[in-house]
Structure 1
Amino acid sequence: MRILVAEDHPSLGPDIQRGLERFHYVTDLATDGEDALASALATPYDLLILDVMLPSLDGFEVCRRLRSAHRTLPILFLTARGEIDDRVRGLDLGGDDYLVKPFVFRELEARVRALLRREKSATSATLQFEDITLDTQTREAWRGSRQLTLSSREYALLEFLLHHPRQVLSRETIADHVWDGEAPYQSNIIDVYIRYLRNKLCASGEPDVIQAIRGVGYQLKGKTL
């Protein structure tokens, strides 16, 4: 799971980042609203922890713009602004939760877990792109009527691609989500597993739908595009 923390306090932001990383979340830190918005638009984060009082753009405006751009990632407001009007405004703009500073880290981490569980349960059990189907409950994958036999890593890679069809995914993003950051994105391990997955997807001569984007990463792209 990859989380973006938008917090400009010089010690609190890094503290939250380190705390989440201790629970094995891949965590990025943005220190102003413009950077937070750009990062959340460019990268498929699983959750955004968002301060309200940020430089350049406040957290309310970041949330509004993300929802206007149809980004559905869960947003947890984390702020000293605890008045009822502020809470209502944040939730009305599309926030999913609102935690007031000062806070206890155990509660923050529990709310993160709850939001990620909610997001996972809300996701359809079946992912589909053209003639590729993946059942996340039975962990069965199909290309048309042909069932695929995938290793656990190949399955995770296909699932991640299917969650983000037509989106260009960098090697770093793939490494963070499929390998939990354990595989260095500069290595060729991602390319090797893409090749394994391609071979299985195209074993009966089907069109290749995984496009390499030179110098960047990969994109699940239909043959009709």
Structure 2
Amino acid sequence: MQDLVKILLIEDDLQVSEFISDGLQNQEYAVEVARDGDTGKSMAIDRHYDLLIVDRMLPGCDGINIVETVRAKGNRVPVLFLSALGDVDDRVDGLKAGGDDYLVKPFAMEELLARIEVLLRRKDAIATTRLKVGELELDLLTQKVTREGQALNLQPREFRLLEYLMKHAGQVVTRTMLLENVWEYHFDPQTNVIDVHVSRLRQKIDKDFDKPMLSTIRGAGYMLNAA
């Protein structure tokens, strides 16, 4: 059974939030609602969502602050701003803060649903260029790697090594597999090049975190697992 798409709606107006929540649930989206900015920001940071719908004007911190905070932590979840503020400058401010789309109130549910569909399709297209194992993420386009939102500085060979391990997460990866697919050697150079690079990679992805992800399987190879 396919998991439901999870949407966080941050909207303080009870009538508007119920209108949106009912409409989304009728389309079989899983919806959670926050009625103030501080609660919404905590939920957006601490939980996983496929989409955020964020009002601009909220009790507590405003929508701009919420989205800027989420983006500062490396979270690229699609964001749709809702607001009665419809001037060009207001829309530009929302997009510059990290919003992906901006819908002005009042609006038709059909338009909201259409915009959500577009954002989710875009998210799926982007996801094909990213690898994720637990809180470890690798972006094939930007060549950036993060764990728990913290940027990790990898050398090119370490990046290729991690990419291969992430594509085979949960599986034992042998030295021969690494030699052939990361170093493009079809013979054993009889050096410790793999051990050195694995050790350096382990330092970068595991050292400053509570739980290790990269394990050595004695006599077999290596395995990357979610922490």
TM range (shorter): 0.5 to 0.7
- Report Cα offsets for 1:149-184 as digits up to 9, x if no partner: xxxxxxxxxxxxxxxx999xxxxxxxxxxxxxxxxx
Contact 1:132 1:144 in 2 (8 A): no
Deviation at 1:128, TM superposition (A): 6.2
Decide which of 74, 81, 86 is 1:77's aligned counterpart: 81
Deviation at 1:61, TM superposition (A): 1.2
Deviation at 1:21, TM superposition (A): 1.1
1:30 and 1:128 mapped to 2: Cα distance?
27
Contact 1:132 1:143 in 2 (8 A): no
Deviation at 1:143, TM superposition (A): 2.0
Q: Taking structure 1 as the reference length, what is the TM-score of the superposition? A: 0.60
Partner of 1:66: 70
Return 5+ residue gaps in structure 2 as ranges: 134-161, 175-204, 210-216
Contact 1:6 1:31 in 2 (8 A): yes
2:72 and 2:92 mapped to 1: Cα distance?
18
- Report Cα offsets for 1:175-212 as digits up to 9, x if no partner: xxxxxxxxxxxxxxxxxxxxxxxxxxx9xx888866xx
Counterpart residue type for residue 117 of structure 1 = R
Q: Which aligned segments of 4 or more residues in structure 1 are displaced greater than 3 angstroms? A: 125-132, 205-210
Q: CA RMSD in A?
A: 3.0
- Give the direction of change, closer, same or farther, for the CA distance of 1:94–1:128 in structure 2 (3 Å limit): closer
Return 5+ residue gaps in structure 1 as ranges: 135-140, 147-164, 168-201, 211-219
Matched, 1:94 2:94: no
Contact 1:78 1:101 in 2 (8 A): yes
Deviation at 1:120, TM superposition (A): 0.7
1:10 and 1:68 mapped to 2: Cα distance?
29
- Report Cα offsets for 1:114-138 as digits up to 9, x if no partner: 001001101126736563526xxxx
3-state SS in 2 of match to 1:89: helix
Deviation at 1:17, TM superposition (A): 1.1
